[in-house]
Amino acid sequence: MKKFNTAIVGATGAVGQEFLKLIEERNFPFGELKMLASSRSAGKKINFMGKEYTVEETTEKSFDGVKFALFAGGAASKLFAPAAVKAGAVVIDNSSNFRMDPEVPLVVPEVNPQAIARHKGIIANPNCSTIIMVMALKPLYNLSKIKRVVVSTYQAVSGAGREGMDELKAQLESLARGEEVVAKILPVAKLDKHYQIASNLIPQIDVFKENLYTKEEMKMVDETKKIMEDDALRVTATTVRVPVYRSHAESVNVEFDDDVSVEAAREALEKFPGVIVRDNPDEMIYPQPLETSGKDAVEVGRIRKDFSIEHGLNLWVCGDQIRKGAALNALQIAEYMIANGLVQ
């Protein structure tokens, strides 16, 4: 099999490390592999598949000979993606920098793979919560056009990066010792005010916008419409940070044009690639973050009629936001391009 030189930008972070795990697990056909990061992380050593790599500082010259540039997130893609494209690389970007650019495809390969071929050098990975939700919505949309979605998310602290996980751990330890709890990261590290997440819920992810929704909530609204290629689709979201280390959960209410039975919904979800139906109320079986962490599939359960509207269903959805919500989705885009001859 042909091999493709690959660069991971942000190799030392949580998503970058997940890229490496998945590249090995999935036997991704890489040739040369570049580990790139900020100047702060340059010089660090990473052992991967029996070889020691030295992390290099990302510069505009980092992408010579690279075919896939996998950006883990943050501001790096805004700074370096154009240079990577100019050097001949396909950029698959996990940040929000290009998601709503009309010239940039926003892709979940199981949902809208047709958009990949329209790329002009950059392909955007959607927001983690959006990916998890549309994996459940797409097979249902195939049964009947969806009119409206109401979603509430329960998002793990790892969505705030390694710092979010470290802060939850430290706060739980402080509570166990009866010591004062220190909060410096959540809800948003760059803001002046922070709240304890241990034994708490925080109904704010990212900053508030003028419309009183958070930036995270509006990402779900806007990105879902773009991925589903349906500007008429109505979406409203409330995003909440919860004291869970990994895997997001979502309560999703869906209103359809036509009636969709629970049985038809379950069958469509069971047949959809990348989705597992875990739904047996009699046995108290349903998706949980503990069970989806470290797994590739999005799990759907609590499938039931919404009796308050004419054509509605309620769902409970869980998925690992670092894997399918970030690194796995990006790698699947690259795999799709290779399998379909979209990259040489």
pLDDT digits (tens, 9 = 90+) for 90-134: 999 999 999 999 999 999 999 999 999 999 999 999 999 999 999
Which option is the CATH number for 130-321: 1.10.10.10, 3.40.640.10, 3.40.50.720, 3.30.360.10?
3.30.360.10
Instruction: Express the helix, strand and coil content of the chain in percent, nearest 5 each.
Output: 30, 25, 40
Q: Which CATH number applies to 4-126+326-339? A: 3.40.50.720
In terms of C-beta density within 10 A (0-12 exposed, 13-18 middle, 19 or more buried), how is residue 27 classed? exposed
pLDDT score for 161: 87
Active site residue 128: yes
**DSSP assignment letter at 100:** T
Active site residue 311: no
On whether the CB atoms of residues 317 and 252 are closer than 8 A, the answer is yes
- Provide the pairing of β-strand 312-319 with 248-256: antiparallel
Query: Looking at 128, 194, 311, 318, which residue is catalytic?
Result: 128
Query: Looking at 194, 248, 311, 318, which residue is catalytic?
Result: 248
| Whole-angstrom distance, CA of residue 155 vs CA of residue 14 | 16
Share of the chain above pLDDT 70, in %: 100
For the chain, domain boundaries: 4-126+326-339, 130-321
Q: Which residues of the chain have pLDDT under 70?
A: none
pLDDT score for 225: 98
pLDDT score for 344: 83
**DSSP assignment letter at 113:** G
